[in-house]
């Protein structure tokens, strides 16, 4: 079955069994290996990608459900020569140990910073009427869909805080 | 190996027409469907509902709100809605993480009918009904009659849920949702409580409370609702809730908690919910 996807700004035609998940399509058909399969269950967030600007778990959705959608993976966020601010901050703060969860963490955090810029409250937001102050608690809440087996959480949060602070100033 | 059929209708009439033939597994956000199949991807016939974009969104009518079946948890969180939707919004913010909220639908939560579905108690406290469509027409059922038990609903195989309908409260109302899990995130609830109070001249004019994860399907607490009515709407409401009011629940022992713990926790959560609702100004 044919599905047209826009992946990292490039039009891609996928010809796959309709039961192929978006995650398997990205890795096995489009050979974008940055997106990881941790649990294949929606539990860990390693497979997080952006679909039409929103973060989702690519393991819980079929590729053919996304005909016409815009998909951004970690490869589209930045490569070795053009790292995004978050990618640089993850390196500067040692926001990983084994690195398996990292692409998902960075895709998720990229979307999260957009959500905050758009002013969306989370469950941890005390005062829903004002813009959320980015506390450690607030980031943990918003990043709760991304697990890190190596437990690099403190450094992940430091990296995100640094980029968020930079955004606030600019 | 059989291929398995896959269909992604763009219009409701195409979808109900296909359902006449039977044999389809419906998928919306897929966040309940796919985790249940991870071990074995057996061939199945998938009716993908995500093309039915007309069914996504929340509409206001003179006496009710209509939540389309493809409305996602994030859509609800972002929608400007009256304060009595705050309980449902609180539930929405705790359904998995944001990645789940961005895909999972409210209707999928109801149709999946897990005893731990967070949407069920919240929508019971809103007195919601569900709309089911088939080639034969449309019927509307109170949510309490739709959920028949653990993963059992009154949906017939050729029916599709098209919307959730929530009546506007007759008086000013406030709502809350509280959930207890073993951890804060990404866990199946041990107990959840949803409450809505209608308040007039400082007194409770109407109350609806529902408890989830303590029976095969979430339950309202009619005896407590009656006891609250007419009482001053303050934090003292909490102490009106007694163990007898929860007698209708039938919690089970499982790996998450035993029945006795669930019963105790349910009473504490009901009291916290009432203290919170009563204390609101
Ligand atoms: C990591 C993780 C965490 C989760 N946390 C929570 C949680 O905290 N609380 C909670 O309540 N749930 C939770 N869930 C479960 C799930 O995300 C929700 O129940 C969600 O609302 C399901 O919606 P969906 O659209 O993804 O359903 P789907 O998986 O698409 O469908 C679920 C069922 O409903 C049927 N269905 C869907 N739409 C319709 C329709 N319109 N008409 C008829 N039948 C239909 C499907 O056939 C299927 O049987 C979690 C899931 C995951 C993976
Ligand atoms: S691989 Fe998708 S959430 Fe774990
Ligand atoms: S760095 Fe190893 S899982 Fe996160």
The kind and range of the H/E element at A159 are: helix A153-169
User: Where a domain ends, among B167, B189, B214?
Assistant: B167
Chain A residues touching residue B30 (CB < 8 angstroms): 60-62, 65
- Locate the domains of chain A by residue range: 2-77, 85-169
pLDDT at B38: 60
- A61 contacts B8? CB cut-off 8 A: no
Residue B198 shares a structural domain with residue B121:
no
Kindly give the residue spans of alpha helices, DSSP state H, lying in B71-128.
Answer: 73-78, 86-93, 98-101, 106-112, 119-125
Chain A touched by B2 (CB under 8 Å): no
Q: B191-200 and B203-212 as β-strands: parallel, antiparallel, unpaired? A: antiparallel
Write down the pLDDT at residue B3: 58
Give the distance (Å) from ligand 1 centre to CA of residue B229: 34
What residues in chain B have per-residue pLDDT under 70?
1-3, 38-41, 182-187, 281
CB atoms within 10 A of CB B54: 12
Q: How many CB pairs under 8 A join A and B?
A: 92
Ligand 2 binding pocket includes A39 (Cβ within 6 Å): yes
CA distance B220 to B225: 9
Rounded-to-integer distance, Cα B72 and Cα A10, Å = 28
DSSP class of B168: P
CA-based max dimension of chain B: 68
The reply to whether residue A55 touches residue B184, judged by beta carbons under 8 angstroms, is no
In a domain, B60, yes or no: yes
**B114 neighbors B32 (Cβ within 8 angstroms):** yes
> In terms of domains, do B43 and B160 share one?
yes
Q: What is the CATH classification number for the domain harbouring B105? A: 3.30.465.10
The CA-atom distances, in angstroms, between B173 and each of A58, A87, B130 are 39, 46, 22
Cα of B101 to nearest chain A Cα, Å? 9
Quote the pLDDT of residue B1: 36
Residues of A in contact with B94 (CB under 8 A): 123
Query: Would you state the pLDDT for residue A134?
Result: 82
| pLDDT of A13 over the 70 cut | yes
Judge whether B177 and B192 are in contact, CB under 8 Å.
yes
What is the CB neighbour count within 10 angstroms for residue B141?
16
Q: Same domain, yes or no, for B110 and B135?
A: yes
Are A64 and B35 an interchain contact pair (Cβ–Cβ within 8 Å)?
Answer: no
CB contact under 8 A, B38 and A144: no
pLDDT in the model for residue A130: 43
In-domain check, residue B125: yes
Closest-CA distance of chain A to residue B34, Å: 6
What is the average pLDDT score of chain A?
Answer: 91
Domain enclosing residue B28, as ranges? 6-49+56-167
Do B30 and B96 share a domain, yes or no?
yes
Strand segments (E) across B127-246? 129-134, 137-142, 147-149, 152-153, 160-167, 173-180, 191-200, 203-212, 219-220
Residue B1 lies in a domain: no
Report whether B1 contacts B80 (CB < 8 A).
no
- In the sheet that holds A10-15, the strands lie side by side as A10-15, A2-7, A70-72, A48-51, A54-57
Q: Is residue B217 part of a domain?
A: yes
Query: What is d(CA B216, CA B116) in angstroms, rounded to the nearest whole number?
Result: 9
Helix H or strand E encompassing A109: helix A102-117
**Residue B186: CB within 6 Å of ligand 1?**
yes
Crossing angle of helices A85-92 and A153-169, in 10° steps, is 140
Distances (CA, A) of B252 to B178, B213, B261, B263: 20, 9, 10, 10
> Within this chain, do residues B43 and B141 fall inside the same structural domain, yes or no?
yes
Asked if B93 and A112 come within 8 Å (Cβ–Cβ), the reply is: no
Same structural domain, B155 and B182: no
The fourth-level CATH superfamily of domain A85-169 is [2Fe-2S]-binding domain (1.10.150.120)
The number of distinct structural domains making up chain B is 2
> Which member of A41, A43, A54 has the closest CB to residue B102?
A54
- Supply the pLDDT for residue B259: 86
pLDDT of residue B184: 63
Q: How confident is the model at residue A125 (pLDDT cuts 50, 70, 90)?
A: low
Q: A132-156 pLDDT, tens per residue?
A: 568 899 999 999 999 999 999 999 9
How far does the CA of residue A65 sit from the closest CA of chain B (Å)? 7
Residues B205, B260, single domain; the answer is yes
Same domain, B124 and B23: yes
Domain stops at, among B139, B167, B195: B167
Are residues B71 and B36 part of one domain? yes
| Residue B19, domain member (yes or no) | yes
The maximal CA–CA distance of chain A, rounded, in angstroms, is 48
Residues B91 and B146 in one domain: yes
CATH class of A2-77: alpha beta
SS3 B214: coil
Separation of CA A35 and ligand 3 centre (Å)? 14
């Amino acid at each position: 079955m044919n599905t047209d996807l826009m992946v990292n700004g490039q039009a891609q035609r996928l010809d796959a069994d309709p039961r192929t998940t978006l995650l398997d399509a990205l890795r096995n058909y489009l050979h974008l290996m940055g997106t990881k399969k941790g649990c294949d269950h929606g539990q860990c967030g390693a497979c997080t990608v952006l679909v039409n600007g929103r973060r989702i778990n690519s393991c819980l959705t079929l590729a053919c459900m996304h005909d016409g959608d815009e998909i951004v993976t970690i490869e589209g966020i930045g490569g070795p020569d053009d790292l995004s601010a978050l990618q640089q901050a993850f390196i500067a703060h040692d926001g990983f140990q084994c690195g398996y969860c990292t692409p998902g963490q960075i895709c998720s955090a990229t979307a999260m910073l957009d959500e905050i810029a758009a002013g969306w409250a989370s469950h941890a937001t005390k005062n829903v009427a004002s813009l959320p102050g980015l506390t450690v608690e607030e980031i943990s809440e918003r990043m709760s869909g991304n697990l890190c087996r190596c437990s690099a959480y403190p450094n992940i949060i430091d990296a995100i805080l640094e980029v968020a602070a930079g955004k606030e100033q600019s | 190996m059989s291929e398995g059929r896959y269909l992604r209708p763009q219009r409701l009439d195409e979808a109900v027409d296909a359902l006449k033939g039977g044999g389809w597994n419906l998928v919306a956000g897929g966040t309940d469907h796919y985790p249940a199949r991870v071990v074995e991807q057996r061939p199945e016939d998938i009716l993908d509902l995500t093309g039915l974009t007309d069914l996504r969104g929340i509409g206001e009518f003179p006496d009710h709100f209509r939540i389309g079946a493809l409305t996602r948890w994030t859509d609800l969180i972002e929608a400007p809605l009256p304060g009595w939707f705050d309980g449902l919004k609180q539930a929405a913010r705790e359904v998995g993480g944001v990645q789940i909220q961005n895909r999972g639908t409210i209707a999928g939560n109801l149709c999946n009918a897990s005893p731990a579905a967070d949407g069920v108690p919240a929508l019971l406290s809103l007195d919601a009904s569900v709309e089911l469509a088939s080639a034969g027409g449309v019927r509307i059922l109170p949510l309490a009659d739709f959920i028949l038990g653990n993963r059992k609903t009154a949906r017939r195989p050729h029916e599709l849920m098209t919307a959730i309908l929530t009546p506007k409260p007759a008086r000013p109302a406030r709502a809350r949702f509280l959930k207890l899990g073993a951890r804060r995130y990404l866990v199946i609830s041990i107990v959840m409580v949803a409450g809505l109070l209608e308040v007039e001249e400082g007194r409770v004019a109407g109350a609806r409370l529902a408890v989830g994860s303590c029976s095969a399907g979430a339950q309202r607490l009619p005896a407590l609702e009656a006891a609250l009515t007419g009482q001053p709407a303050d934090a003292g409401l909490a102490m009106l809730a007694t163990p007898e009011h929860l007698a209708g629940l039938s919690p089970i022992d499982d790996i998450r908690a035993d029945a006795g713990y669930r019963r105790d926790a349910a009473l504490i959560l009901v009291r916290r919910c009432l203290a919170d609702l009563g204390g609101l100004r």
